[in-house]
Amino acid sequence: MRVLIPMTIRRCSLLVPTFLIIILASRGGFAADKLRIGYSGATISNAMLWVTEEGKLFQKNGIDPEILYLQTTLGQTAMIAGEIQMCVYSASLLAPARLQGADVVMVTSFLNKPIYRLVVRPDIRTVADLKGKRLGITRFGTVTDWTTRLLISRLGLDPEKDVALVQVGDVPVLLASMSAGKTIDGAIIQPPYYLKAVASGMRVLANMQEMDIPFQQTGLNTTQKSIARNPDIVRRASVSM
């Protein structure tokens, strides 16, 4: 016995595959969500950002990233102002801003302990020799400032009285200043850059990576406002990294 299928049903059954083809074809044409991410330097602690970018992991999660170099604390300032949506920075910058009322949060952590080496002039042999010496930092209020103070305290000295912190600039300037030996006597430097200082005659006095200090050195930061506005984009950015 034959079953007669109404014409309308047969027409719909023919249209379904067509609609599926259109939907699947158009899905690949959707524009990725743009996301501006700031960073403060080409350091190993920021390596996760480069791995994600070079591996096109943002794109695989539907994000079109714009990676922006913003010196020292400018990235966090721009993020709070809403000019960028995320930044790769240390919790040592995030915490003071949070205490001052900013809605900044770290959504992903890359390093939970510092990896700096304290590199000093060759005549500085012991921690006691640091007294009265000048230690270079990039800028007051940055991660090198807070981490240098933390290290000096852990070594048993007073960062406010026993050493002088001098604003110098980014890592290349720090290295040049130490080699000249006129501006600073030492500085904390990440690998592999500290090896350049050692090659020029400087010595490592302390290795923070071996000191097991709990410290959120680097992570992916954003604001609560951004999370509330675009939770899915924040989630996909975090998964990417």
Neighbours of 176 (CB within 10 A): 13
pLDDT score for 27: 44
Instruction: Please tell me whether residues 205 and 221 are part of one structural domain.
Output: no
Instruction: Please tell me whether residues 155 and 132 are part of one structural domain.
Output: yes
pLDDT score for 198: 95
70 falls within a domain: yes
Q: Kindly state the tokens that stand for 63.
A: 């994000």
22 falls within a domain: no
- Per-residue pLDDT of the chain (241 residues), as tens digits, is 444 445 444 444 544 454 444 444 444 456 899 999 999 888 888 889 989 999 999 999 999 999 999 988 899 999 999 999 999 999 888 999 999 999 999 999 998 889 999 999 999 999 999 999 999 999 998 889 999 999 999 999 999 999 999 999 888 888 888 888 779 999 999 999 999 999 999 999 999 999 989 888 899 999 999 999 999 999 999 999 8
123 falls within a domain: yes
Instruction: Please tell me whether residues 169 and 136 are part of one structural domain.
Output: yes
155 is in which domain, residue-wise? 117-210
d(CA 144, CA 92): 9
pLDDT score for 30: 64
Q: List the one residue out of 65, 100, 107 whose CA is nearest residue 84.
A: 65
Whole-prediction pTM = 0.77
Neighbours of 145 (CB within 10 A): 22
**What is the domain-level CATH number for residue 233?**
3.40.190.10
Instruction: Please tell me whether residues 138 and 198 are part of one structural domain.
Output: yes
3 falls within a domain: no
226 falls within a domain: yes
pLDDT score for 174: 86
pLDDT score for 42: 80
Instruction: Please tell me whether residues 121 and 201 are part of one structural domain.
Output: yes
pLDDT score for 204: 98
pLDDT score for 71: 83
Q: List the one residue out of 28, 36, 87, 120 whose CA is nearest residue 221.
A: 87
pLDDT score for 7: 47
pLDDT score for 228: 97
**Number of domains forming the structure of the chain:** 2
d(CA 59, CA 48): 15
